């Protein structure tokens, strides 16, 4: 089969017209933009839009996740509110993005958790903290022991290693399964076309550099007004790469433990410790920066209804990083057991809510970027129709 020849779809998914309020609004503004095209060079959304004449539900879902909410097209638009056309692309896309997370969630019944993401997150945090405090009291044979330096001076004196693995491994595996199945449904609806390695390389590069938070000209995005700023992209890089470094630290420590028989705690100049410390500082600073910028954003640029989800996720990331760093500094002190419960409770709440909160944005955006890179390499359906 030639690389340009479309593969037969495994399962034909019926095309559904844009029908919800959020889908219809994306379809409406895209029709106007398709006639105007002033913002064509801003990001990947506009070239993808020009390949279509109408916007069915799956097209709208794809474009909503491709938009990086940089705000540039709102500040450039001559039809933006208060104009009677009231074109607000970032807000329409943000509203529909929230709906897609919920629609594609797995299992479908839990998709509703997105609509109350702030409450879901607060509940998960309270339950996880209570779980570790209760486990700590039980392990130590009484609450008073949680206020003393543990035996052996380290965290395995509070919780044995196998207990932590048996609690975290299934919750993390569930989060990966739920996110994976959700994004698979999104992918099937998006009908991506033939895959290619250079499309995958291009999409990964765009995700890792956050190209589309550059506002089209690389000067940055619009945050609270029409001035360009690169701070949102910088803060996201600190958050993303900090998170990845902490995650890598946990993976290397697991490898040391099981592969090399070398249990924690590790010296300051070891790989897990260096990755964890640098990553933790980066994650704490990055999430604090994203929180500050989020509070200053212009209300028209996003969907205010998603604020509890956005700020809850940012706050939880900050709590995980700062409690980990405080824990590291508390070795051999009476503060260690309670800080350990706080850190583990925060990490457990984060893992449990990964597939039902803001974390989903990364996974769906990567899928949308990949589709955009694949689509770009195919002849336009509109051009084929003209020929
Ligand atoms: C992706 C999620 C996680 C993040 C972002 C995170 C973050 C951090 C940070 C920044 C530190 C301080 C730096 C260091 O000592 O390496 C730390 C320490 C620690 N974390 Fe986490 N952590 C995560 C997951 C976990 C998990 C799953 C566990 C246990 C099952 C855990 C247990 C610990 C312990 C015991 C320490 C103290 C290590 C020491 O002082 O040597 N963390 N964490
Ligand atoms: C490679 C995958 C990722 C991509 C392409 C991506 C992209 C983006 C974009 C474009 C935004 C701004 C628009 C919005 O609020 O949705 C954003 C926001 C955010 N991202 Fe990511 N992201 C990725 C992964 C991650 C990861 C792994 C984390 C942290 C664990 C993270 C943390 C955040 C936070 C906290 C915000 C909220 C900022 C706000 O509300 O203003 N992202 N991401
Ligand atoms: S956002 Fe406004 S200026 Fe930009 S293409 Fe659409 S209608 Fe035109
Ligand atoms: S990424 Fe920026 S320019 Fe592109 S559609 Fe979204 S808000 Fe507009």
The confidence score (pLDDT) of residue 306 equals 95
Backbone angles phi, psi at 70, to 5 degrees: -80, -20
Of all protein residues, the one whose alpha carbon is nearest to atom 41 of ligand 1 is 265
Query: Ligand 3 center to residue 46 CA distance, Å?
Result: 9
Q: What whole-number distance in Å separates Cα of residue 316 and Cα of residue 350?
A: 7
Nearest CA to ligand 1 atom 8: 324
Quote the pLDDT of residue 301: 94
Q: Cα dist. 125→1, 77, 110, 117 in Å? A: 51, 41, 17, 12
Domain boundaries, the chain: 21-105+378-386, 113-373
Query: b or e along 185-220 (b: 16 or more beta carbons within 10 Å of the residue's beta carbon)?
Result: ebbebbbbeeeeeebeebbeebbeebbbbbbbeeeb
Number of C-beta neighbours around residue 94 at 10 A: 21
Which tokens belong to 60?
Answer: 């709208």
Cα angle 345, 346, 349; round to 5: 85
pLDDT at 4: 52
Question: What's the confidence (pLDDT) of residue 285?
Answer: 98
The set of residues, in sequence order, having a beta carbon less than 8 Å from that of 44 and lying 6+ positions away, is 66, 206, 212, 369, 372
Q: Which residues contact 177 (CB under 8 A, 6 or more apart)?
A: 106
Q: In sequence order, which residues have a C-beta less than 8 Å from that of residue 257 and are 6 or more positions away?
A: 161, 263, 264
Q: Output the CA torsion 150→154→155→161 (10° steps).
A: -120
Measured in Å, residue 206 CA sits from the centre of ligand 2 at 13
Q: Cβ(222) to ligand 2 under 6 A? A: no
Cα–chain-centroid distance for residue 198? 24
Ligand lying closest to the C-alpha of residue 42? 4
> Is residue 316 within 6 Å of ligand 2 at its C-beta?
no
CA nearest neighbour of 366 among 209, 154, 174: 209
Alpha helices in the chain (DSSP H): 21-36, 45-50, 57-66, 72-76, 89-104, 117-140, 161-190, 197-209, 231-259, 271-296, 307-329, 336-353, 360-376, 381-386
Q: What is the residue-wise DSSP string for 38-64?
A: TTTTSSSHHHHHHT-SS-BHHHHHHHH
**Token pair recorded at residue 325:** 């760093």
**Whether 194 contacts 66, CB under 8 Å:** no
Nearest CA to ligand 3 atom 7: 33
- Decide whether any atom of ligand 2 lies within 6 Å of the 236 Cβ: yes
Instruction: Please give the helix or strand (H or E) that residue 300 lies within, else none.
Output: none
| Among protein residues, the one whose CA lies closest to atom 35 of ligand 2 | 314
pLDDT digits 0-9 by tens, 83-123: 999 999 999 999 999 999 999 999 999 999 988 888 999 99
* Ligand 2 near 172 CB (within 6 A): no
Say what the pLDDT of residue 7 is. Answer: 56
The continuous run of DSSP H or E covering 228 comes out as strand 228-229
For residue 31, give every residue at least 6 positions away whose Cβ sits within 8 Å of its Cβ, in sequence order, or none: 55
Q: With a cut of 70, list the residues of the chain below it in pLDDT.
A: 1-14, 152-153, 215-218, 381-387
What is the distance between the terminal CA atoms of the chain, rounded to a whole angstrom? Answer: 23
Spatial contact of 146 and 140, defined as CB atoms under 8 Å apart: yes
Report the atom number in ligand 2 closest to the C-alpha of 69: 13
Protein residue closest via CA to atom 8 of ligand 4 = 73
Q: Is 303 helix (H, G, I), strand (E, B) or coil?
A: coil
- Pick the ligand that lies closest to the CA of residue 71: 4
Tens-place pLDDT, residues 25-82: 999 999 999 999 999 989 999 999 999 999 999 999 999 999 999 999 999 999 999 9
């Amino acid at each position: 089969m030639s690389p340009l020849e479309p593969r037969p779809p495994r399962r034909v998914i019926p095309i559904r017209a844009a029908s919800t309020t959020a889908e219809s609004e994306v379809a409406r503004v895209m029709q106007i933009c398709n006639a105007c095209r002033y913002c064509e060079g801003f990001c990947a959304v506009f070239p993808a839009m020009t390949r279509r004449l109408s916007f069915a539900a799956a097209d709208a879902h794809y474009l909503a996740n491709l938009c990086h909410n940089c705000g540039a097209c709102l500040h450039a638009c001559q039809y933006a509110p208060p104009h009677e056309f009231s074109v607000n692309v970032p807000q329409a896309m943000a509203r529909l993005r929230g709906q897609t997370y919920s629609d594609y969630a797995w299992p479908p019944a839990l998709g509703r958790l997105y609509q109350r993401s702030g409450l879901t997150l607060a509940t998960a945090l309270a339950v996880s903290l209570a779980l570790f405090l209760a486990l700590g009291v039980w392990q130590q044979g009484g609450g008073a022991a949680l206020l003393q330096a543990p035996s052996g001076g380290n965290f395995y004196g509070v919780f044995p290693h196998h207990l932590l693995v048996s609690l975290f491994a299934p919750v993390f595996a569930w989060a990966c399964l739920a996110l994976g199945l959700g994004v698979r449904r999104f992918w099937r609806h998006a009908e991506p076309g033939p895959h290619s390695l250079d499309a995958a390389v291009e999409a990964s590069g765009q995700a890792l550099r956050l190209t589309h938070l550059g506002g089209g000209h690389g000067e940055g995005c619009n945050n609270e007004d029409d001035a360009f700023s690169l701070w949102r992209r910088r803060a996201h890089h600190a958050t993303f790469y900090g998170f990845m470094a902490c995650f890598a630290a946990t993976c290397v420590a697991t490898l040391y433990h099981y592969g090399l028989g070398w249990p924690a705690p590790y010296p300051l100049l070891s790989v897990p410790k260096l990755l964890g410390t640098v990553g933790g500082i980066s994650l704490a600073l990055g999430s604090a920066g994203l929180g500050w910028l989020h509070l200053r954003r212009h209300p028209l640029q996003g969907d205010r209804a998603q604020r509890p989800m956005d700020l809850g996720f940012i706050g939880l990331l900050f709590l995980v990083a700062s409690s980990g760093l405080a824990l590291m500094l508390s070795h051999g002190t009476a503060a260690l057991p309670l800080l350990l419960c706080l850190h583990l409770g925060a990490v457990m709440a984060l893992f449990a809510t990964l597939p039902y909160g803001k974390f989903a944005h990364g996974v769906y955006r990567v899928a949308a970027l990949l589709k955009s890179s694949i689509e770009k390499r195919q002849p336009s359906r509109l051009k084929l129709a003209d020929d």
